Amino acid sequence: MENLYRIVYSSRINPKYLTDVDEMLKDILATAVRENAKRGITGLLIAHNGWFVQALEGSMEAVQATLATIVRDMRHRDSHILAEGPTEARMFGAWSMCARVLSKTDAAVMELLDQKTSFNPADFPERVIIRLLTTVAELHGRSLNEQHTSLLALA
């Protein structure tokens, strides 16, 4: 049995990258899919209102090393670990990495966010952040699978 570890973190998107978040995510994924596949890392990254929220899963060493790389990336600021620890199963095992910008049309996801007047991931309990990520995965699984398949083909 694989010893799995998960970290869920948030970070502010560096303001100079807010002009084209979709393009920034493409750049992140171009490297992350390939590198995470080598390291046995799986996960999901979402962007919303100037924030990143991401789950990383794999061995503790690989997950922590990946997070250390992310923290040094100038696209991220003010990183904050929201949850971490051993886990029995991967929640995002189909993807070495996928990403999505949330929009107002993500009604089910937005219901979770509407509990607060502003979106600051650190203000949400761990269970809400996990539910946010899993809801995005469920609602957009098909497009995330297609995204991942096309990125793997380029890697």
Name the one residue in this structure whose structure tokens are 């990520």.
133
Kindly give the confidence (pLDDT) of every residue in the chain, 155 residues in length, as a single tens digit, with 9 standing for 90 and above. Answer: 469 999 999 999 999 999 999 999 999 999 999 999 999 999 999 999 899 999 999 999 999 999 999 999 999 999 999 999 999 999 999 999 999 998 777 756 666 666 666 788 888 889 889 988 998 999 888 999 999 888 888 76
* CATH number of the domain within which 35 lies: 3.30.70.100
- The pLDDT assigned to 154 comes to 77
- The pLDDT assigned to 134 comes to 92
Which residues, in sequence order, are bridge partners of residue 44?
Answer: 55, 98
- The pLDDT assigned to 155 comes to 64
Which is nearest to 98 in space by CA: 51, 32, 11? 32
pTM, whole model, 2 decimals? 0.91
Give CA–CA dist 7/80, Å, rounded: 10
The count of domains in the chain is: 1
For residue 143, with 0-12 CB atoms within 10 Å meaning exposed, 13-18 middle and 19 or more buried, which class applies?
Answer: exposed
145: domain range? 4-154
- The pLDDT assigned to 123 comes to 86
- The pLDDT assigned to 10 comes to 96
